[in-house]
Amino acid sequence: PPSPLQPPGLPLAPRRSFSNNKIQVELDESSGVAMMKFKSPPVNSLSLEFLTEFSISLEKLENDRACRGVIITSALPKIFSSGLDITEMCGKSMEHYAEFWRAVQEMWLRLYGSNMVTVAAVNGSSPAGGCLIALSCDYRIMAENPKFSIGLNEAQLGIVAPFWFKDTFVNVVGHRIAERSLQLGSLHPAPEAHRLGLVDELVPEEKLTEKAAAVMAQWLALPDHARQLTKTMMRKAVLDRLVAHREEDIKNFITFISKESIQKSLRMYMEMLKKKK
């Protein structure tokens, strides 16, 4: 079937794709746009392996002169990404927690600081770390289905979003909305997320890829160099803050996550998820 980036009837544009266990990437060289699809059933949870593959995929595209922008979406129905994989944070060694958290940081540093235009096509629910991925893009389009929700709901699980999740959120929705939403651990249905400015646009699900391609074309109409310098100017303060406190942030995570009370909360949450199925 013709890609939405490829008008029907025209000769096929040169196209390169690479894929790993969790993520599928297809780069359209004529437009300079890569389509990145999360395909880690059942819910695209951000395991250590997923995060590593995500960072590697971003790095590959970043270093590919043929690539100017990336659209991030899910290959699975109803879910964009369920966020950090709780099994990575439960009953593991300190070394594992450190490695895992460094991979979360690495992914965010690459995505939030990317020189490419990044568009999130949020075609399903997107809690916690899934929401962070969307928030880190330049533009967020969401399927207008009110059954899909998005938000940094960490507090619901008894855990706390780290300061750089918070900074990214505040940069998108402002201090007040972030304060309330984070404290309540809110998951906002798509229409509410749009009203709050958490996503930029809602479209019917079947139009999502098409719309993402159109938005991408609009952003790519600008000269790369000026756009990239502008993006850096807007995001540098928040990126630098994590870079400056990266080891401290890892230590904080390990201390917090290895508390017996937190481990207990996470185990209960996983039990609840299992029963839901």
- To a second copy, the closest distance from the beta carbon of 221 in angstroms equals 8
Active site (annotated) includes residue 84: yes
Q: Is 173 in the site for a second copy (CB under 8 A)?
A: yes
Neighbours of 250 (CB within 10 A): 18
Minimum distance from residue 159 beta carbon to a second copy (Å): 6
Q: Among 178, 199, 212, 213, which residue interacts with a second copy (rule: CB under 8 A)? A: 178
Q: Which of 90, 155, 214, 217 binds a second copy (CB under 8 A)?
A: 155
Residues 6+ positions from 182 with CB-CB distance below 8 Å = 152, 154, 155, 161, 166, 169
Comparing CB distances to a second copy, the nearer of 85 and 138 is 138
Residue 247: Cβ-neighbour burial (10 angstroms; 0-12, 13-18, 19+): exposed
Give the shortest CB-57-to-a second copy separation in angstroms: 23
Pick the catalytic residue from 69, 124, 129, 130.
129
| Shortest distance (Å) from residue 185 CB to a second copy | 6
What is the nearest approach in angstroms of a second copy to the Cβ of residue 219? 7
Site for a second copy in 204-263 (CB under 8 A): 218-219, 222-223, 225-227, 229-231, 233-235, 261
CA angle 223, 225, 230 (to 5 degrees): 100
Strand partners, 127: 151
Q: Does 156 bind a second copy (CB under 8 A)?
A: yes
166 binds a second copy (CB under 8 A): yes
Q: Which is nearer to a second copy, 225 or 277 (CB)?
A: 225
CB distance 36 to 23 below 8 Å: yes
d(CA 156, CA 159): 7
| Nearest residue (CB) to a second copy, 50 versus 112 | 112
**Residue 175 burial (CB count, 10 A):** 10
The catalytic position among 51, 152, 154, 242 is 154
Residues at the contact surface with a second copy, assessed by CB under 8 A: 138-139, 154-161, 163, 166, 170-176, 178-180, 182-185, 197, 200, 218-219, 222-223, 225-227, 229-231, 233-235, 261, 265
